[in-house]
Structure 1
Amino acid sequence: MKLRPLHDRVVVRRVKEEEKSKGGIIIPDTAKEKPQEGIVVAVGKGARGDDNEIVPMDVKPKDRVLFGKWSGTEVTIDGEELLIMKESDIMGVLEK
């Protein structure tokens, strides 16, 4: 199934968190926090501005982004956990 977000919404797949700490300690699932980093899967066309023109999105699919801890709505599509959030919930794009 394919999901196309509407307006200024973005679909993000969380990046897997490390199973071990930098010191080599294995972190159990109950102690892990959900990562605040993800890969953009799909983007909407953009929000409508005051002049009724569509404002294009700053992010695009395959961008690696940072978002707030409580950002977005979790959904499961075809067994995969994804987040749907507004573009304004994204704090930045990570670049190499």
Structure 2
Amino acid sequence: MKLRPLHDWVVIERDKPVEGLLWIPDIPVNRGTVTATGPKVKEVSVGHQVQFNPYSGLEVACNGQTWLFINEAEISFINCGGV
């Protein structure tokens, strides 16, 4: 499915939680990869690894895939590697 967000919305595919640990927190993962951006998005691009508030945005599920729709202003930072 091809997504085309409007305005300043960004579509993110969340990273999978790390499995095999003794304790996994109940909060969702707050990292992911940008898969699509709206026309008014200025700072992030498709392919960027970003971090955001784990409870922000709107999750949309379709055909077994889940995406997070989030406003660009809710993204905390772009991961430039090493973290």
Output the TM-score relative to the length of structure 1.
Answer: 0.76
Q: 2:63, 2:42 → 1: CA distance?
A: 26
Q: Structure 1 CA distance, aligned partners of 2:32 and 2:42?
A: 17
For residues 6-85 of structure 1, the aligned pairs below 5 Å read 6-21=6-21, 25=22, 27=23, 31-46=25-40, 56-85=41-70
Instruction: Write the letter of the residue equivalent to 2:55.
Output: W
**Aligned 8 A contact 1:9 1:84 in 2:** yes
RMSD: 1.5
Q: Percent identity?
A: 35
Larger radius of gyration: 1
Shift of 1:70: 1.4
Gaps of 5+ in 2: none
Q: Normalising by structure 2, report the TM-score.
A: 0.87
Partner of 2:74: 89
